[in-house]
Amino acid sequence: MSPTAQARPQSARRALSDAPFLVAARGGRPARLPVWFMRQAGRSLPEYRALREGVDMLDALFDPEMLAEITIQPVRRHKVDAAILFSDIVVPLKAAGVDIDIVPGTGPVVASPIRDLDAVKALPELSPDQVSRVADGVRLLVDSLDETPLIGFAGAPFTLASYLIEGGPSRNHEHTKALMHSEPEVWHALAGKLADIALTFLKAQLDAGVDAVQLFDSWAGALSVRDYREFVLPHSTKVLAGVAEYGVPRIHFGVGTGELLTSMRDAGADVVGVDWRVPLDEAVRRLAVPGAPLPVVQGNLDPALLFASWPVLEGEVRRIAAEGRAAGGHIFNLGHGVLPSVDPEVLTRVVELVHELQP
């Protein structure tokens, strides 16, 4: 699975109808319980650290060969059932011309926060050619991943807006919430532009051949249900509806979103990601719609438990797999991303165990 294969035009989407990840994402019972991990590509892998040495993060994210190799590394090592594109939610903002950087130890930092209508109007749009190098990386991966599905992703409008308004990561999102309520027309103008940017980024990945997409709303759990439905739901719905024509599974995930699960379902995703705070069978109960097929869920091992003793970790994996059988389909994952100091051998062992369990 060399990522250096010559890129070719994507004339048709790959036929991976038996891939366990895709079967589960469409509400079926696959041959084995599928598993992949958010942030599976990255700092937990020594081969990643060796490849990235001396290379700026944003440079790596726009290098087709490097992003393809990093994306494949966890598939090669762990034998996970899906690869997720090595990228970042701020990539389309950077590509569009926003002055934003990824600062080690901090995260995305914006040079000039956006907090008024003039700044919103000045926010540039994204064109597909500005993320062409990311699309080139996707094409390399499509040629290299054999039978392993590739997941593309984008940041949801609320989470992107939070970074732009706060100027970087925030515990309380005070500027964001104040703007939402004090100047709702400014908020909706900003969220609308960010929905367009996310949609353009996802379509570029889909046109290049990704087999599924995930919309990350990392900070949505900071919101009340009322605020989510008024200020966020219309814009996330726009993104997910905008890629429906591609016919690929659409996953929607946020952290701390147990109270928002039904609202996130209403945004139109095919799969709802669940963090570790809500048991999967309870999440299914909340997500279920009378007369409709059972919902499909993804999750939800607490990433911190990867540091526990193996008997404890094994018990948690078995419990989550059992709870997931209440769903129409279950994709095993973490309730958030892999932590940088996790032992990669533990992840490999979890994958082996999951593959032994009944879907």
For residue 12, what pLDDT is reported?
53
Residues 341 and 343: their CA atoms lie apart, in Å, by 6
Residues 109 and 233: their CA atoms lie apart, in Å, by 25
For residue 104, what pLDDT is reported?
85
And the tokens for 301? Answer: 């091992």
For residue 65, what pLDDT is reported?
98
Fold of 47-275+282-293: TIM Barrel (3.20.20)
pLDDT(5) > 50: no
pLDDT in tens, 40-74: 999 999 999 999 999 999 999 999 999 999 999 99
Is 106 or 348 the better-scoring residue by pLDDT?
348
Per-residue CA distances from 162 to 21, 165, 197, 227 (Å):
31, 5, 15, 14
Q: What is the dihedral of CA 170, 215, 93, 200, to 10 degrees?
A: -160
pLDDT in tens, 185-213: 999 999 999 999 999 999 999 999 999 99
Contacts of 326 (CB under 8 A, 6+ apart): 280, 281, 284, 285, 294
pLDDT in tens, 323-357: 999 999 999 999 999 999 999 999 999 999 999 99
Residues 312 and 335: their CA atoms lie apart, in Å, by 17
Question: 107: pLDDT confidence band, cut at 50, 70 and 90?
Answer: confident
pLDDT(229) > 50: yes
Residue 214 near residue 84, CB atoms below 8 Å: yes
Which residue's structure tokens are 């379902």? 265
Burial group, residue 168, by CB count within 10 angstroms (0-12, 13-18, 19+): middle
pLDDT in tens, 7-37: 334 445 788 989 999 999 999 999 999 999 9
pLDDT(158) > 60: yes
pLDDT(4) > 80: no
And the tokens for 140? Answer: 């390399």
pLDDT(105) > 90: no
Positions marked active-site: 39, 43, 52, 88, 163
pLDDT(3) > 50: no
Residues 335 and 109: their CA atoms lie apart, in Å, by 25
Count of CB atoms situated within 10 Å of the CB of 224: 11
* Selection from 86, 80, 21, 150 nearest residue 344 by Cα: 80
| Domain range summary for the chain, segments of one domain joined by + | 47-275+282-293
